[in-house]
């Protein structure tokens, strides 16, 4: 399918301030790509360059020849308060020259959980409802590329879950780039991730590979009894801790992954373990984020920009 995106040497300067220092994004068609970074890292600037709201100081942007089929959901959408929800969605399509019938408008609003607010004026909408409307106005145009900046920031936990799951469900049909300060959301739906720090791309690639690369523990699944296996593992020089997360599921903290990968088969064989599976225990995206960006928990709630 068409709809992938790439940038080459993308630079943006505001006077003497360099917001982006030459980033090369690669977003495959049909992927759900998470763009994350601490406050001031350049996330919003990158998104606005991609959708044409700002011009780059240098570099190239290739959106796969999809032209007007790019939809952008800013983090704080504003709509004329006297319009109804259906009028906002209809107008959104009309701005790019697409005529949509009532059924399509209602379908888009129902898709984002506003099916019962079709004829309500948006001046009375809560922030969460405006966030949903923002997404509905984008989806009615059936974009090939959807760019969403903090799409669920104003929603309660249930609403956040629904919107994030909706974005994830677009995988394979729509290329999605989502920026969020909630790293759990990104980890749940994104297959690829880019990490920005001070305007530079410090990591880009498959999310699973990133989590596995940063892992400091092994997940080992064995048949019962587990006590002899736990005892043998705890005695290994490269093991710093063992816990049984569930019956038969062992999380083995290690001091060095290379030593663990070499020593694990030996320990399991010596203890008579009946192995079901073994591999790196996934860390959280938040842990890896702190490592890559040099930030810590004190800055975890301030990752916009």
Is 293 within a domain?
no
Between 18 and 77, the more confident residue is 18
Residue 201 sits in the same domain as residue 232: no
Q: What is d(CA 20, CA 196) in angstroms, rounded to the nearest whole number?
A: 9
Residues 49 and 83 in one domain: yes
From CA 88, how far away is CA 129, in angstroms rounded?
A: 13
Q: How confident is the model at residue 299 (pLDDT cuts 50, 70, 90)?
A: very low
Q: In this structure, what CATH number is given to the domain that contains residue 262?
A: 3.30.70.100
Whether 158 is in a domain gets the answer yes
Q: What is the pLDDT of residue 300?
A: 41
Higher pLDDT, 291 or 121: 121
Of the listed ranges 85-89, 95-99, 200-204, the least confidently predicted one is 95-99
In 3D, which of 196, 146, 151 has the Cα closest to residue 172? 146
Tell me the torsion sign for CA atoms 205, 207, 209, 211: positive
| pLDDT recorded at residue 75 | 87
Tell me the C-alpha distance between 4 and 29, whole Å. 4
In this predicted model, what pLDDT tens digit does every residue of 56-72 receive, in sequence order? 999 999 987 555 588 99
Let me know: does 100 contact 140? Beta carbons within 8 Å. yes
With a CB cutoff of 8 Å and minimum separation 6, the contacts of 115 are 106, 109
Considering the domain boundaries, does residue 228 fall inside one? yes
Residue 213 pLDDT: 72
| Residue 186 reports pLDDT greater than 60 | yes
Q: Which of 205, 228, 260 is the last residue in one of the domains?
A: 205
What mean pLDDT comes out for the span 269-298? 82
pLDDT in tens, 280-293: 787 777 778 888 88
As a whole number of Å, the CA-based R_g of the chain is 23
* Cis peptide upstream of residue 225 (ω within 30 degrees of 0): yes
Q: Is residue 302 part of a domain?
A: no
The reply to whether 33 and 168 lie within a common domain is yes
Backbone φ and ψ for 166, nearest 5 degrees, come out as -60, -45
- Percent of the chain topping pLDDT 90: 62
Q: Which domain holds residue 78?
A: 5-205
Tell me whether residue 299 is in a domain.
no
More confident residue, 97 or 42: 42
Same-domain check for residues 158 and 23: yes
Mean predicted confidence (pLDDT) in 105-111: 94
Q: What residues contact 253, with CB distance under 8 A and at least 6 apart? A: 216, 217, 239, 240, 241, 242
pLDDT band for 42, please (50, 70, 90 cuts): very high
pTM here is 0.78
Does 247 lie in the same domain as 171? no
- Name the band, by pLDDT with cuts 50, 70 and 90, for residue 108: very high
Closest to 3 (Cα-Cα) out of 188, 190, 171: 171
| Three-class secondary structure assignment of the chain | CCCCEEEEEEEEEECCEEEEEEECCEECCCCEEEEECCCCCCHHHHHHHHCCCCCCCEEEEECCCCCCCEEEECCCCCCCCCCEHHHHHHHHHHHCCCCCCHHHHHHHHHHCCCHHHCCCEHHHCCHHHHHHHHHHHHHCCCCCEEEEECCCCCCCHHHHHHHHHHHHHCCCCCEEEEECCCHHHHHHHCCEEEEEECCEEEEEEEHHHHHHHCCCEEEEEECCCCHHHHHHHHCCCCEEEEEEEECCEEEEEECCHHHHHHHHHHHHHHCCCCEEEEEECCCCHHHHHHHHHCCCHHHCCCCCC
Question: Count of CB atoms within 10 A of residue 43's CB?
Answer: 26
Same domain, 123 and 221: no
């Amino acid at each position: 399918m068409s709809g992938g995106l790439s940038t080459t040497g993308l630079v943006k300067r505001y006077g003497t301030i360099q917001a982006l220092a030459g980033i090369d994004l690669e977003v495959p068609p049909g992927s759900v790509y998470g763009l994350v970074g601490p406050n001031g890292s350049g996330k919003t600037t990158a998104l606005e360059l991609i959708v044409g709201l700002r011009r780059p100081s240098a570099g190239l942007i290739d959106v796969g020849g999809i032209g007007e089929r790019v939809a952008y959901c800013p983090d704080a959408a504003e709509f004329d308060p006297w319009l109804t929800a259906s009028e906002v969605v209809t107008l959104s399509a009309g701005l790019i020259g697409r005529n949509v019938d009532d059924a399509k408008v209602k379908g888009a609003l129902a898709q984002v959980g506003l099916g019962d607010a079709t004829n309500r004026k948006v001046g009375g909408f809560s922030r969460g409802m405006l966030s949903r409307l923002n997404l509905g106005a984008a989806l009615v145009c059936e974009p090939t590329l959807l760019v969403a900046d903090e799409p669920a920031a104003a929603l309660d936990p249930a609403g956040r879950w629904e919107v994030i799951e909706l974005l994830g469900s677009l995988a394979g049909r729509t290329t999605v780039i989502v920026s969020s300060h909630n790293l759990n959301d990104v980890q749940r739906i994104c297959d690829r991730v880019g990490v920005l720090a001070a305007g530079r791309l410090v990591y880009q690639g498959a999310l699973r590979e990133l989590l596995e690369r940063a892992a400091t523990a092994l997940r080992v699944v064995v048949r019962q009894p587990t006590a002899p296996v736990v005892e043998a593992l705890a005695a290994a020089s490269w093991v710093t801790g063992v816990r049984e997360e569930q019956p038969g599921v062992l999380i083995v903290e290690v001091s060095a992954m290379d030593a663990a990968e070499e020593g694990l088969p030996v320990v399991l064989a010596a203890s008579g373990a009946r192995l079901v599976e073994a591999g790196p225990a996934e860390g959280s995206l938040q842990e890896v984020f702190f490592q890559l960006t040099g930030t810590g928990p004190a800055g975890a709630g301030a990752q916009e920009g």
